[in-house]
């Protein structure tokens, strides 16, 4: 968290006076509900159970499998399958650009003429100028609805993702 | 028997003594809970934050270098988790407000929502909830926890000068909010 270097707008005296005023104003308000004693007694037990869950061999192996092993195996298998089946073969006959263009349906040619930037598959996102994080509120909402359990989806967000999402939604973190 | 210091307990935890970590939890659970509760306002969210804070602290204890005290380090984790919880609530509130999700998610005004929480929400809590997150963190640590600026600076990794300004601005906003509440004739604790 970064704080702006601001000049202290008031001296210690002014701060103390203001603080005293706020304390006096809030003194009559209802007190916060104290959790009952059993809550405090059970809290370490529940935390220890969570620690056990997080540090057990099973949990570690599942976490490791989910994060590393499974994606790794999938990537390697996909790569091997790709190598086996999809290695581009040299063209058997020389085809002219003109004949390829003529073989395209008219709508495809129109779309290429309207948006030539999309025609070059070698262009990177940066060259095209597309910001993949620049999505509309509607897109975010649609995505979260489509993902089913919205509450769980939001809970899974990291700190950085939450901030990015809030910024995209136009609600800066207060 | 004299209570053991935090650094002794941390050393024992590192040597595999879980009971020492339980001692640390018992020592700080209330302070961490109330810190979280002041920021997130809701008991259930505060409960989640407390648990997450200690689990995270336990798992990351190997990375704790001891530059700052254990308490400062623990507070830093709790503040970050609390602020992140507030951000997630903001996302959920936005989604609730959107027409499409209004039908899919329970509204915060749903009668099934925690009645206790609503009844206990004081004017001051509501005022704190309106603060920007940085001011909120400083306000909670200073006003409720009565930490010194030097301690807060260690928790939030920032300068004392900036903190003083943040706290003063926060106090002014809280005072203004409370005055407005009184002027509109609302009884504290009811809205």
Cβ-Cβ contacts under 8 Å between A and B: the total is: 168
pLDDT over threshold 80, residue B67:
no
Q: Give dist(CA A20, CA A14) in Å, integer.
A: 10
Is the per-residue pLDDT at A33 higher than 60?
A: yes
Is the CA virtual torsion B143, B146, B149, B151 positive or negative? negative
**Greater pLDDT, A137 or B152:** B152
| Tokens representing residue B169 in the block | 């601005």
A33: chain B residues, CB-CB within 8 Å = 43, 116, 120
H/E stretch holding A62 reads helix A57-64
Give the pLDDT confidence score for residue B54 in this predicted structure. 96
| pLDDT value, residue B118 | 47
State the average pLDDT for chain A.
72
CA distance A172 to A36: 36
Using 50, 70 and 90 to split pLDDT, how confident is the model at A75? Answer: confident
- Dihedral pair phi/psi, residue B104, rounded to 5°: -90, -25
Chain A stretch 5-64, residues whose beta carbon is closer than 8 A to a beta carbon of chain B? 5-10, 14-15, 18-19, 21-22, 25-26, 28-33, 35, 40, 43-44, 46-48, 50-51, 54-55
If contacts are CB pairs under 8 Å, which of residues 109-138 in chain A contact chain B?
Answer: 137
Rounded Cα distance, B157 and B155, in Å = 6
Residue A88 has what pLDDT? Answer: 65
Q: Answer whether residue B187 shows pLDDT above 80.
A: no
Distance, CA of B32 to CA of B29 (rounded, Å):
5
Band of pLDDT at residue B119, cut at 50, 70 and 90: very low
Contact B124 A29 (CB under 8 A): yes
Q: Where are the domains of chain A?
A: 44-83, 130-174
On the 0-12 / 13-18 / 19+ scale of CB atoms within 10 A, A47 is buried
Q: Nearest by CB to A151, from B30, B92, B162: name it.
A: B92
Q: Which has more confidence, B90 or A132?
A: B90
Span B171-190, average pLDDT: 74
Residue A16 has pLDDT above 80, yes or no: yes
- For chain A, the C-alpha Rg in angstroms (whole number) is 29
Model pTM?
A: 0.60
CB B163 within 8 A of CB A3: yes
More confident of the two residues B178 and A117 = B178
CATH code of domain B121-191: 1.10.10.10
| CATH number corresponding to B1-113 | 1.10.1740.10
Q: Are B1-113 and B121-191 equal in CATH topology?
A: no
Could you tell me the pLDDT band of residue A82, with boundaries at 50, 70 and 90? confident
Stronger pLDDT, A115 or B59, i.e. the higher one: B59
pLDDT at B161 over 60: yes
pLDDT of residue A112 exceeding 90: no
Q: Name the residue among B104, B137, B167 with its Cβ closest to that of A150.
A: B104
From residue B14, alpha-carbon distances to B4, B53, B78 in Å are 15, 17, 21
Residue extents of the structural domains in chain B? 1-113, 121-191
Burial B84-121 (b: 16+ CB within 10 A, else e): bbbbbbbbbebbbebeebeeebeeeeeeeeeeeeeebb
Smallest Cα distance from B135 to chain A, Å: 9
How many Å lie between the alpha carbon of B67 and the closest alpha carbon of chain A?
18
Distance CA(A134)–CA(A130), nearest Å, equals 8
- Residue B91: list chain A partners with CB under 8 A: 154, 157, 162, 165-166, 169, 171
Closest CA to B66 of B21, B15, B9, B20: B9
Torsion, Cα A4 A5 A8 A12, to 10 degrees, reads: 90
Q: Which residue has the higher pLDDT, B122 or A55?
A: A55
Q: Say if residues B92 and A165 touch (Cβ distance below 8 Å).
A: no
* Residue pointed to by tokens 């309106």: B130
Asked whether residue B99 carries a pLDDT value surpassing 60, the answer given is no
Q: What is the pLDDT of residue B97?
A: 66
> Contact at 8 Å (CB) between A53 and B141?
no
């Amino acid at each position: 968290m970064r704080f702006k270097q601001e000049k202290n707008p008031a001296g210690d005296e002014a701060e103390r006076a203001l603080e005293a005023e706020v304390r006096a104003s809030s003194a009559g308000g209802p007190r916060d509900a104290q959790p009952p004693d059993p809550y405090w007694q059970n809290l370490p037990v529940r935390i220890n159970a969570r620690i056990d869950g997080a540090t057990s061999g099973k949990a570690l192996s599942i976490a490791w499998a989910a994060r590393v092993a499974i994606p790794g195996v999938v990537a390697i298998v996909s790569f091997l399958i790709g190598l086996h089946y999809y290695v581009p073969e040299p063209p058997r006959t020389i085809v002219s650009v003109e004949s390829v263009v003529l073989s395209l349906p008219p709508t495809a040619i129109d779309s290429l003429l309207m948006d030539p930037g999309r025609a070059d598959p070698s262009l990177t996102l940066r060259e095209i100028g597309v910001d993949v994080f620049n999505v509309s509120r509607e897109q975010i909402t649609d995505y979260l609805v489509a993902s089913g359990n919205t509450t769980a989806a939001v809970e899974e967000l990291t700190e950085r993702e939450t901030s990015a999402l809030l910024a995209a939604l136009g609600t800066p973190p207060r | 028997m004299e209570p053991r210091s935090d650094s002794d307990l941390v050393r024992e935890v590192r040597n595999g003594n879980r009971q020492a970590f339980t001692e640390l939890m018992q020592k700080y659970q209330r302070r961490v809970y109330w810190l979280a509760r002041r920021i997130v306002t809701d008991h259930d969210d505060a409960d989640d934050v407390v648990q997450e804070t200690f689990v995270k602290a336990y798992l990351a204890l190997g990375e704790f270098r001891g530059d700052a005290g254990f308490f400062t380090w623990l507070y830093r984790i709790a503040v970050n988790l609390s602020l992140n919880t507030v951000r997630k609530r903001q996302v959920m509130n936005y989604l609730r407000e959107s027409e499409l999700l209004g039908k899919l998610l329970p509204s915060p005004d749903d009668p099934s929502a925690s009645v206790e929480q609503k009844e206990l929400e004081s004017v001051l809590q509501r005022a704190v909830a309106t603060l920007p997150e940085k001011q909120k963190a400083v306000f909670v640590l200073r006003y409720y926890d009565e930490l010194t600026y030097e301690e807060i600076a260690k928790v939030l990794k920032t300068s004392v000068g900036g903190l003083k300004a943040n706290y003063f601005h926060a106090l002014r906003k809280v005072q203004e909010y409370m005055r407005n509440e009184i002027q509109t004739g609302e009884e504290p604790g009811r809205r």
